[in-house]
Each structure stands twice: as C-alpha cells, then as structure tokens.
Structure 1
Amino acid sequence: MRDASIVTSSPFTKRNRPAGLVLTPGASADRDHHTLVAIDEALTDLPVLRLTLGTNRVPSAVKKIVAASEAFAAELGVSLDRLAYGGRSFGGRSCSVAVAEGLPAAALVLLSYPLHPPGKPDNLRVEHFPDIAVPTLFVSGRKDPFGTPDEFGEHVPAVAGPTTVEWVDGNHAPKNDAPVIEHVSAFLGY
C-alpha cells in the first residue's frame, strides 16, 4: 500500500497535459458536490466542466458524458483526446466505462472508485479495466468500504494504461479535500 504522499511527477508535460477536465459526481450528488467544486476552484489554469448526471444507470451516464464532452471540446477548440475525465464514485466509474468503450481521453481521475458495493467484494466493477489505456489516477480513503487498499492492489493492475493509486485519510467521502486536490493537480501537471 502506498502512503498518502503527493505524486511528485506527472505523466504529462506542459505540451501534452489535458486541455480540460470533465468532472462527475457520485450517484446521489450533483455537480455542486464539495469535492468537485474544490477541484474546479483549485485548478485555475485548467477549464473544468462539472456535470450532474441525473441517473444511477451507467449506460445513461455514459451517453450524457459523451454528449457533454463533445460540446466542451468544441467550446475549447480541442479534440476529445485532450480532455481528462473523472469524478467521484459512480461518476468516475461512468467516465471510466465511457473511456473503455472508446471515448478518446487524455487521462482518468477516479475519486473513491467503487470497486464493489460495501460488503459485497465478489460483485466487482472492474471488467472494463483492461480496456482503459490512458494514464489513470485513483484517489481513495484508506477506510473506504467500496474497496480496500489490498483490493485495489489486486484489481488496478488490470488497467492497461499507467496507473497511480493514492490514499488519503477517511472513508468513501473523505472530509478533507486538500490532499485530494493536491493529488489531482500533481497528476494532471497543473
């Protein structure tokens, strides 16, 4: 298990770092979730689009992410592969499925990724991991019931692209956004 140290190197340089970030909330939250707002406010040099998904179904969320990302990329004047995608729990999972299904991406930022429902470690949500070929950051609370450090150690290596896993104090909803922001900022090179 890695300590909660901040990522000291990014997989990106100033030339190839993402041109925008699409952030999505967990299943019961909206675009104004405090962690998403805090990331948006901290990354002043990176355009951020915060979405409310309005669904608890991954296929519906994927469609919304793809449509919103196309509009966001057009607004920024960049191709979809210059955008990073991610968010908390269900939102991050939905972004990871969208990328695994072919949405071009620069990176994934997965906060409190739900490897499985609490208490159901055999009900895994990792079948799409081998189809993720972009740099991927996972940031989770050490006491998250949706996935322990050992479970992440077992399943994250299935991701085809380079991965970084960082741990912060807390559970599925870490209260302190500062270390989460530091990890995201360092990973994206901002």
Structure 2
Amino acid sequence: MHATPRTPARPVEGVLLTPGAGAGRDHRTLVAIEHALAALADPVPVRRVDFPYRIAGRRMPDRPPVAVAHLREQAAAFADELGTTTDHLVLGGRSYGGRMCSMAVAEGLSAAGLALISYPLHPPGRPERLRTEHLPGLDVPVLFVSGRTDPFATPEELVEHTAAIPGRVTRVELPGAHDLRGQDAAVCGALVSWLEHLPDAVG
C-alpha cells in the first residue's frame, strides 16, 4: 500500500546515503550523519543504502546503469515511506556512492539536492580520466565535502570542474585525504549547516 504524498513542511523530508566502493551502508561517516540528523530539534530521517553488488557479497562495484536503477528504486521507496516525493530528498554519500547519486540526478531522478563526500573526480594519479561528463546536468544544490590532500580530487580541481554545475555549489575543504579519518564531526557539521540553508538555495 502506497502512502499518499502530502504537502511537505520543509524542502528536505529525508536524506538517502550511499557508501564508497569498498564499504557498506554501515560506514562510520554515514552512521555519524544519521545520528547527527536524528539529534536535530527537527530530526531528518535517513536511509543508508547498500548497492546490489554489496548485497550479493561481490567486491566489484556495479556499473552505473545498475547502480542508478537501484538508487531510483530506493529513493522512490524511501519517499513513499515518508509520504512525499523524491524531489524532497537529499541524495548522496561517499566517493563512488555519491558519484552514482549524482549520475542518477543528472539522468532525471528528482532530488532536493546532493551531498557528496570525497567525490572522486578521477582515479588517483590519473587526472586525465575525469568523471565529469554528467556534471552540467545537476540543476540542484550540491554540497562537496573533501579532504585537502584527497588524491581523487584536489581543491583546485574541484573548483575548476564543479563550475560546470548549474545548481548552487557549496565546497567544504577539511584536513585529510580521501577517507577523511577523524573528520566525521566536521563532515556532519558541514552537512547540517548546508541543509539549514537549503531553502535559500532552492527558493
């Protein structure tokens, strides 16, 4: 039985989070974000999602068509549970997971915004192999939270390549590399602050 979509009381009714290629839905950063959003005065529901390859016990990440189809299903189910639509969800996550969410939105999945942690612009040491073709299709607010020494994307590269995004872009640099170890509190703080200002970005 499907819930009847209601008029949302706020632009973001929920946050769907995905892990990087080498981790699962219980990655420490995703769990920390869920706890931070649950502790707000007006808590924001979170769904942490594994990709099909992880669910099946495989190590090789899904190709984008498979991952994007899965994200469409998960976002629709989460929105249905909340009695809303996917355009009132923020989608995102770490590395590969965030990239798959951004591809899903570029391919037409409606969302309130994207929260991309340690976004992989390119493989380490291969800056010529950019993963940016879909960025001009992101007409939503986008948050990038990355380490200053991340080999997947330097701060300068992020500034250069995210300029192609038509939606409002917010970039937060933190100490550390791709894993942002020890920075979970700062990641959560950046996301909470961005969510608080999201009505201004979509208004």
- Please confirm whether the aligned pair reaches a TM-score higher than 0.5, indicating the same fold: yes
In 2, the alpha carbon distance for the partners of 1:66 and 1:105 equals 11
Question: Which amino acid in the other structure matches residue 35 of structure 1?
Answer: T
In 1, the alpha carbon distance for the partners of 2:48 and 2:69 equals 15
In 1, the alpha carbon distance for the partners of 2:64 and 2:122 equals 14
Q: Is the 8 A contact 2:20 2:96 kept in 1?
A: yes
Residue 58 of structure 2 aligns with which residue?
Answer: none
Identical pairs, percent: 51
Aligned partner of residue 151 in structure 1, secondary structure: helix
Cα shift readout 1:22-47 (whole Å, capped 9, x = no counterpart): 00000111000000000001101000
Residue 73 of structure 2 aligns with which residue?
Answer: 67
Q: Structure 1: which 5+ runs fail to align? A: 1-13
Residue 118 of structure 1 aligns with which residue?
Answer: 124
Residue 196 of structure 2 aligns with which residue?
Answer: 189
In 2, the alpha carbon distance for the partners of 1:71 and 1:54 equals 16
Residue 41 of structure 1 aligns with which residue?
Answer: 35
Any residues of structure 2 matched to 1:34-183 within 5 Å, and which?
34-44=28-38, 45-55=43-53, 56=61, 57-175=63-181, 176-183=183-190
1:59 positional shift? 1.6
Give structure 1 regions of 4+ aligned residues with deviation exceeding 2 angstroms: 14-17
Any residues of structure 2 matched to 1:16-31 within 5 Å, and which?
16-31=10-25
Aligned partner of residue 158 in structure 1, secondary structure: coil
Question: Which amino acid in the other structure matches residue 102 of structure 2?
Answer: S
C-alpha root-mean-square deviation of aligned residues, in Å? 1.3
Q: TM-score, normalised by structure 1?
A: 0.90
Question: Quick check: which has more Rg, 1 or 2?
Answer: 2
Q: How many residues align?
A: 177
Residue 6 of structure 1 aligns with which residue?
Answer: none
1:54 positional shift? 3.6
1:15 positional shift? 5.2
In 1, the alpha carbon distance for the partners of 2:111 and 2:21 equals 22
Q: Which has the higher contact order (CA 8 A, sep 6+)?
A: 1
Q: Which moved more, 1:29-38 or 1:58-67?
A: 58-67
Q: TM-score, normalised by structure 2?
A: 0.85
Question: Which amino acid in the other structure matches residue 61 of structure 1?
Answer: A
In 2, the alpha carbon distance for the partners of 1:123 and 1:189 equals 35
